[in-house]
Amino acid sequence: MSPKALAIRDPNYVERVKDAFARQGFLRHVDARVEEVAPGRCVIAADFRSELAQQNGFFHGGLLGTIADAAGAGAAATLIEPGQGLLTAEYKINFLTPAKAARLRAVGEVARAGRTLSVSQVNLYGIDAAGQEQLCALATVTLMILEREAPSFQKN
Amino acid sequence: MSPKALAIRDPNYVERVKDAFARQGFLRHVDARVEEVAPGRCVIAADFRSELAQQNGFFHGGLLGTIADAAGAGAAATLIEPGQGLLTAEYKINFLTPAKAARLRAVGEVARAGRTLSVSQVNLYGIDAAGQEQLCALATVTLMILEREAPSFQKN
Amino acid sequence: MSPKALAIRDPNYVERVKDAFARQGFLRHVDARVEEVAPGRCVIAADFRSELAQQNGFFHGGLLGTIADAAGAGAAATLIEPGQGLLTAEYKINFLTPAKAARLRAVGEVARAGRTLSVSQVNLYGIDAAGQEQLCALATVTLMILEREAPSFQKN
Amino acid sequence: MSPKALAIRDPNYVERVKDAFARQGFLRHVDARVEEVAPGRCVIAADFRSELAQQNGFFHGGLLGTIADAAGAGAAATLIEPGQGLLTAEYKINFLTPAKAARLRAVGEVARAGRTLSVSQVNLYGIDAAGQEQLCALATVTLMILEREAPSFQKN
């Protein structure tokens, strides 16, 4: 992204991203945590436990998608204006290798910050007990920018 | 799908799908349950609770993706041979309307059952307290068929 | 889609969809044609010729994606207001079986007609010389609704 | 990708990729050309002309998807064994900004080279008359590796 596109429009963006994250029951339920917030960037992590696994002891693909969505939305949220909100329009995740790891780390970066839509790319890494990272999944997240923090119900 | 493509290769497919589901810690953690298993079809449901929500009281998009992946994989799993396994290669979900609902229901159906790859389509419905359904998301799930139940670690 | 969601807002929608199609040089270059336009629905077809093929004599995947995008956009275009325009935000296509066929037919249907975004689903069929259809690909197309027919250039 | 994963298995990979490209009628029909082939990487370009455009004078989204598919497949093709073939299983493209440009350039890079599936990421750039590049689209391409160059017809 060009420097112009990454211009921060809300000086309180770090606090706002962390606050939005904290209010999401599902992200707390999966014990995801915010590791880093920077302009156009958000890193989310989760530690392995059996409640996050599928039957072979890997992180579950649904959990990876959840973390990817959170990292992509968090990255896009750093660039919106005060009072605006975001809603995920769609996301897509490719699993590259089974995520057998002690920890999962999703790095979301904004590829496009538009007025109506933002697009984030997310790289997901499995990190083993020795701290070695392996890229295990790739995701793209498209977000719709809302003129208020919560969507209205009369959308049609 | 044509009748030939939906041919059952494992007479114990219902039990196998339910068993694979039950062994996934993450699906238990999100209280997802199998509602229906039929040739080329699997329906997964979850009841609303705040642990599955985002900040506006809707089902979280990551939870919808998780349920979609489970329904798509379950549908594909009905058509594999005894001893084979499945691994999600990728999935993609479009959110059509915020899922403010008492219950979520994901209907997965196989669009293609190949030797190496299967593709499932999933419709996700929000169901309100009065039992009225609304289509709230669409997903596509691509699955890789494994010659044994668990993936090996020397994949490269 | 519910009847309300499929309400036509522009009585000249058929003409407008066909006109927008005719002004796209690339759709003429691939000899795509509009077969049907109805509320929330658009069918696009193309006949096989070697200029549309890949190396094994199948319709090229890029051509299938092009036809899918056109069918999905055409379906969404039936439901917008006079003076509005559409721009594809993203599309995704799964190839189910190689499209070795005399003719290709893409059936696009609107899954969601919103104020800002529309989502269409597209089924692509290969049709052999005897007229028999086979589902060969599935696509999802997300479209952004513009308040004028052409996008402005100062989008950032 | 790690050096091991990018190991070349066919010393004639450059020739093979260019040859497979040249045999695809659709890629010739859209005047796409191979600009670069390297281990795990393939760059495809096309010059603007009205036959590749949509109604507003941008490169058509279907053409961008076609070029993305070609670049992603070309990148994956550099890493397969002699005698193997590739078939696109699915691709997904996000349009970031309308591609109003003199030239289009798609840079495909392998994110995962497996035994059965490969995944490539593609960045698409519009290049104006002054040679300035702008990222205009992102794509992900999933490819199935075939044990011979062409798919058989009794796939089920």
List chain A residues with CB under 8 Å of C117: 89, 144
CA distance readout (Å), D84 to B31, D55, D144, D155: 44, 40, 10, 16
3 state SS for D19-52: HHHHCCHHHHHCCCEEEEEECCEEEEEEECCHHH
Interface chains of chain D (3 or more CB pairs under 8 Å): A, B, C
Of residues D151 and D51, the one with the higher pLDDT is D51
Give the tokens for residue D147: 């044990």
Each residue's pLDDT tens digit, D17-31:
999 999 999 999 999
* Residue A155 touches partner C, C-beta closer than 8 Å: yes
pTM: 0.95
Q: Are A111 and A1 in contact (CB under 8 A)?
A: yes
CB D13 within 8 A of CB D78: yes
For residue C57, the one-letter residue type is: G
Residue A148 contacts C, CB cutoff 8 Å? no
Whether the per-residue pLDDT at B154 is higher than 60: the answer is no
Which run of H or E residues covers position B88?
A: strand B85-95
pLDDT tens, position by position, A111-126: 999 999 999 999 999 9
Residues of D in contact with A89 (CB under 8 A): none
What confidence category does residue D99 fall into, taking pLDDT thresholds of 50, 70 and 90? confident
Name all chains with 3 or more CB-CB pairs below 8 Å to chain C: A, B, D
pLDDT in tens, B103-140: 999 999 999 999 999 999 999 999 999 999 999 999 99
Give pLDDT tens digits for D79-91. 999 999 999 999 9
The answer to whether residue D142 neighbours chain A at the CB level (below 8 Å) is yes
The pLDDT confidence band at residue B4, using thresholds 50, 70 and 90, is low
Of residues A54, A55, A95, nearest to B89 (C-beta): A95
What whole-number distance in Å separates Cα of residue D39 and Cα of residue C135? 35
pLDDT at D2 over 60: no
pLDDT, position C2? 53
Nearest-CA distance D2 → chain A (Å): 10
Distance (Å) from the alpha carbon of C118 to chain A's nearest alpha carbon: 10
Rounded Cα–Cα distance for residues D115 and C68 (Å): 30
Per-residue buried b or exposed e for A89-101, using 16+ beta carbons within 10 Å of the residue's own CB: bbbbbbbbbbbbb
Q: Is B142 within 8 Å of D90 when comparing Cβ atoms?
A: yes
Q: What is the pLDDT of residues B12-26, one digit of tens each?
A: 999 999 999 999 999
Which pLDDT band holds residue D152 (cuts at 50, 70, 90)? low
Q: Which of C95, C90, C99, C74 is nearest to C138 (CA)?
A: C95
Cα separation, C111 vs B64, whole angstroms: 17
Does A96 reach chain D within 8 Å, measured CB to CB? yes
- Higher per-residue pLDDT: D151 or D118: D118
For residue C119, give the nearest of B96, B119, B142 by CB distance: B96
What chains are in contact with B, requiring at least 3 Cβ pairs below 8 Å?
A: A, C, D
Task: Please answer yes or no on whether D138 and A140 come within 8 Å at the CB atom.
Answer: yes
- Provide the mean pLDDT of chain D: 93
Task: Give the model's pLDDT for residue C149.
Answer: 75
Longest dimension (CA), chain C: 51
Name which of B94, B111, B121 is nearest C142 (Cβ-Cβ): B94
- CA of D114 to nearest chain B CA: how many angstroms apart? 6
C5-63 pLDDT, tens digit each: 578 999 999 999 999 999 999 999 999 999 999 999 999 999 999 999 999 999 999 99
Q: Supply the Cα-derived Rg of chain A in whole angstroms.
A: 15
Residue C4 confidence (pLDDT)? 55
Residue A45 φ/ψ, nearest 5 degrees: -130, 160
Where does the pLDDT of residue D1 fall: very low under 50, low under 70, confident under 90, or very high at 90 and above? low
Residue of A nearest to C6 (CA): A156
Reported as a single tens digit per residue, the pLDDT across B71-91 is 999 999 999 999 999 999 999
Q: Are B81 and B124 in contact (CB under 8 A)?
A: no
**Any chain D CB within 8 A of the CB of A6?**
no
* ipTM value: 0.93
What's the pLDDT tens digit per position in C93-141? 999 999 889 999 999 999 999 999 999 999 999 999 999 999 999 999 9
